[in-house]
Structure 1
Amino acid sequence: MTRSRPVRRRLLPVAAVGVLGAGLFLAGGLALAPASSDAGRPAPVPAARAAGTVPEASTSADALATDIAGLQQHLRDQPDDAPALGTLGLDYVQQARNTVDPSYYPKAEAVLGRSLKLDDRENFTAMAGMAALEAARHNFASALDWSQRAIAVTPDNATLYGILADAYTQLGRYPESFDAVQHMVDLRPGTPSLARASYTWELRGDVGTATADMQRALDDANTPADRGFTLYHLAQLAFDNGDPRTALAKAEQGLRLLPGSADLREARARAEAALGSTDAALADYAGAVAAVPQPAYVLELGELLQSLGRTQDAERQYQVFRSEEKLFTDNGVALDSDQTLFEADHGDPAKALTLGENGLRTRPFLEMHDAYAWALHRNGRDAEALEQSQQATALGTRNALFHFHQGMIDKSLGRLDQARAELRQALAVNDSFNPLQAPAARAALAELGADR
């Protein structure tokens, strides 16, 4: 699973990821023709959404379940309807993200394969579905290929450029990703494209423009689900840049629209923990994890518990994290940055190194460089670690975790002035970036004889 944004340790919505990142905001309609009847006239699909469209990333699991049931019924009557099969595959990918249930991925692959077998020339819905599926499973080179094939069929479809941008981003091809996002905005300015535009500026360290674009995405959103999505990311932007009060306000605003949202409860929990409302944070984390066992949220809860001295409770959460990771690998998802960092910090550093090496081959993204740097550091290979860490910060992304890791690597190498500067920068970006590592940054600065 993928952290949809590199500013803090987390997984996507997925493929989540989750998010903006590898397929997080798969949005907008692909606008294929609807399924055809035997008489050649459009035949209605008995679902909330017609065949040949892509679900919004913010579409609820319940709404998608309705779509899925309707498409399944339609396909029982018309099993060779290629657009309906392609749409069902996209729905399965999105439902995997919404429910954090990767067993939908093999189902998606099966129906998308059937769709492409029926039409492998003009079937850009199924091609987009394959791109989204491959991104969700962290096969980003394949995701890029499928998105390019879909665009070759329909070059003026904005949604396809969003999928293309996601693949370029995760492959570390940032200028091409930024161009694809700009093309998406030019074709169809709106919540999906503006949210991606926000992320491109965040990657480059321009938080003001990123926030402005996400606010424009919120202003353009016309459903509670879309508004909740953008409010969640506004909360993230605020928290990741040291403003937990604004993060809390945005999360609570979103929860008034979507009181059952696990994402927004997690956003509120992080802000509450940073503001010292520990009991409230633990309750919100527990609620979020109970609703959707997103591994990133499980890990955040575990680290908060560990910071409070509740080591047995924390270890139980880490065991849940390991179980969730196995579920994902069993369903074809390649492990990368989250798992690398988890093993480096809470498990087996040698395993972290292997995961980092493998992850960097398939996903040479900023946060993968950072995770591999940390794995190298934890294995005593600090000169190599510094090179990887510097690649993680090459775009100028304001990321407290990246700067913390680089500062600790500098410290191990005896680069003490650089270590002080990086650790200060980590805390300047967000002095509550992690309940375990923010205190470690302060302790390292004190050991170096430096104030904040």
Structure 2
Amino acid sequence: MEIERDARALGRPGGLAGGPLGNLAAGGEPPRRRRRGRWIAAGVAVSLLVGCGIVLWPSRHGAPQPPEPAPGAQALAAVALGVPAALPDLAVLIGQREAEVRSRPGDAHSWAVLGAAYVEQGRRTADAANYPRAERALRASLKAKPRGNADALGGLAALANARRDFRTARTWGEAALKADPKRWTTYPLLLDAYTGLGDHKATGRTLDKLAELRSGPAGLARIGAVYRDRGWREDAAASLADAAAGASTPAEQAAWLERAGQLSWERGEREEALAHFDEAVRLDSDQRAAQAGQGRVLAALGRTTEALNAYRVALAGQPNPRYALELGELYESLGLARAAKVEYDLLRNRVRAAAAGGVDEELVLGVFESDHGDPAEALRRLRDEWRRQPGIEVADALGWALHRTGDDREALRFATAATDKAHGGGVRSALFVYHRGMIERELERYGPARRHLQEALRVNPYFSPLRAPLARQALAALGDVPDEPVPTGASTARPVTPGS
């Protein structure tokens, strides 16, 4: 049987990798007080119950305390809930499930758990070699249980999201939802897929359903991410704080703290962001996103040597092309062109390695080529990416590539889509607004250009070691708003329409 061959393959070098299978409308107002009130009330209730438990069942002097859950059990609980797991625990879980499927090759559940663990390991290490293993395990689960296998279908949706293949993630996620409509862990997967595809209405519907089904830490964290995308940053911060407070393991808490740190960074709150990132790394030394966050903030604080070290540590454990791009740009801002080129070359190599595991890194490669390589190549790649999955990040990157190749009129169309709430671009990104302002300046729309460059620096004055100084220079060149008298007959003049 094929499943038995899959199980035997685990014992060969390369393991599975060696096998043959390689009510919230868009733009609406956030349900701030009502919904958040329910979550906070639920959190308080849980806290009171826990407190009561301590009072009612105090530990007796000398009585043995309950043992900590075994590492494999901790990782199993995390994978089942779709939350981050500690890397050492994941390794234990993978070893256990590999042994299970070798002895019981028809165990659909063990295959699904194994596949989900491979996905999480690949995501946390940026080692795309895990993804073919994950796909093989998840498909083996489907072969063992073809009908109603929501675990395997959800695992395939998570795998597709990790590969940035949002159309496929949507397909698998909707199939998982059909198999088990009350499985709340499917909804975060669909939120990622719909966001990547720019489907804001579907994102709103899914967010509402998730809020009805789940208000625990994982649900709160994912809801906070959608709030951030909508530009509702206070609500996002509250959701992430509640998620971090309610996390059940250090690895999970570290993940939500990292997201809170990223939100603080996007607001230009350097010290608060650094505190979140430092605590995340203290809780989980393998939290590479937080280490990259430390690099970002330390550079903004002028602590350059520490920033470079933080980026190097992050990249050593998780060779993410985005981190390589950020480190290269930091080197470039310091006048270290040769060191920057080393990082840019590594970025290209990492993108190729990711592609071998089925990961779509066209977005980060297009962003890199626009500013540091071949803008025409960036434009080609990003047009293709836009046709596949027209999300907000792709709209911004495509607009900038068009600007870099001289087509500013079309560039403004995409820059507007990335920054205008009416087009779904509610996220308050200093970089996106900077791009729009620079494009408007090139089109001699000096009023909007001045306004957007000011907004970029107001949102986060430190948003990029390369571009924040350019924003200041461009703003200085534009000068202050001209102090001119109101022209005669202004009261009868036709109003100027946007874009005229």
Q: TM-score, normalised by structure 2?
A: 0.78
Inter-CA distance 339–450: structure 2 relative to 1 (3 Å threshold) = farther
CA distance in 1, matches of 2:150, 2:286: 34
**Residue 366, structure 1, aligned to residue 378, structure 2:** no
Inter-CA distance 152–358: structure 2 relative to 1 (3 Å threshold) = same
8 Å contact 2:71–2:89 — kept in the other structure? no
Alpha-carbon offset, residue 50 of structure 1: 5.3
1:153 to 179, 186, 189: 179
8 Å contact 1:235–1:267 — kept in the other structure? yes
8 Å contact 1:298–1:317 — kept in the other structure? yes
Alpha-carbon offset, residue 388 of structure 1: 0.6
**Residue 169, structure 1, aligned to residue 199, structure 2:** no
CA distance in 2, matches of 1:209, 1:53: 27
Equivalent residue, structure 2, for 1:129:
155
Equivalent residue, structure 2, for 1:209:
235
CA distance in 1, matches of 2:318, 2:161: 21
> Partner letter of residue 87 of structure 1?
V
Inter-CA distance 111–348: structure 2 relative to 1 (3 Å threshold) = same
CA distance in 1, matches of 2:204, 2:343: 37
8 Å contact 1:52–1:83 — kept in the other structure? no
Instruction: Please say which of residues 259-268 and 222-231 is displaced more in the overlay.
Output: 259-268
8 Å contact 2:78–2:85 — kept in the other structure? no
Equivalent residue, structure 1, for 2:493:
none
2:90 to 59, 64, 70: 64
Equivalent residue, structure 2, for 1:180:
206
Instruction: Please say which of residues 69-78 and 269-278 is displaced more in the overlay.
Output: 269-278
Report the RMSD for the aligned CA atoms in angstroms.
Answer: 1.8
Alpha-carbon offset, residue 94 of structure 1: 1.1
8 Å contact 2:321–2:364 — kept in the other structure? no
8 Å contact 1:337–1:372 — kept in the other structure? no
Inter-CA distance 53–316: structure 2 relative to 1 (3 Å threshold) = closer
Instruction: Please say which of residues 292-301 and 363-372 is displaced more in the overlay.
Output: 292-301
Q: Name the SS of the counterpart of 2:319 in structure 1.
A: coil
Equivalent residue, structure 2, for 1:109:
135
> Partner letter of residue 173 of structure 2?
S
Alpha-carbon offset, residue 89 of structure 1: 1.2
> Partner letter of residue 212 of structure 2?
D
8 Å contact 1:52–1:86 — kept in the other structure? no
Equivalences for residues 19-418 of structure 1 within 5 A: 47-48=72-73, 54=80, 56-395=82-421, 396-418=426-448
8 Å contact 2:321–2:350 — kept in the other structure? yes
> Partner letter of residue 202 of structure 1?
R
Inter-CA distance 180–242: structure 2 relative to 1 (3 Å threshold) = same
> Partner letter of residue 340 of structure 2?
A
8 Å contact 1:238–1:244 — kept in the other structure? yes
Inter-CA distance 428–47: structure 2 relative to 1 (3 Å threshold) = closer
Alpha-carbon offset, residue 363 of structure 1: 1.7
CA distance in 2, matches of 1:112, 1:224: 28
> Partner letter of residue 337 of structure 2?
T
Q: Name the SS of the counterpart of 1:105 in structure 2.
A: helix
8 Å contact 2:82–2:185 — kept in the other structure? no
CA distance in 2, matches of 1:277, 1:81: 53
8 Å contact 2:196–2:390 — kept in the other structure? yes
Alpha-carbon offset, residue 95 of structure 1: 0.9
Equivalent residue, structure 2, for 1:427:
457
CA offsets 1:160-219 (integer angstroms, 9 cap, x no match):
111111111111111221221232222121111111111121111111111111111112
**Structure number with larger C-alpha Rg:** 2
1:444 to 466, 474, 477: 474
8 Å contact 2:157–2:170 — kept in the other structure? yes
Alpha-carbon offset, residue 139 of structure 1: 2.1
Alpha-carbon offset, residue 277 of structure 1: 1.0
CA distance in 1, matches of 2:279, 2:457: 27
> Partner letter of residue 292 of structure 2?
E
8 Å contact 2:328–2:344 — kept in the other structure? yes
CA offsets 1:197-242 (integer angstroms, 9 cap, x no match):
1112111111111111111111211211111111111111111111
Identity of aligned residues (%): 39
CA offsets 1:322-369 (integer angstroms, 9 cap, x no match):
110000112222233211110101111111001111111122111110
Alpha-carbon offset, residue 56 of structure 1: 4.3
CA offsets 1:251-300 (integer angstroms, 9 cap, x no match):
12223322443222221221111111111111111121122212211111
Q: Name the SS of the counterpart of 1:383 in structure 2.
A: helix
CA distance in 2, matches of 1:325, 1:450: 43
> Partner letter of residue 444 of structure 2?
G
Return 5+ residue gaps in structure 2 as ranges: 1-69, 482-500
> Partner letter of residue 64 of structure 1?
L
Inter-CA distance 262–78: structure 2 relative to 1 (3 Å threshold) = same
Return 5+ residue gaps in structure 1 as ranges: 1-44
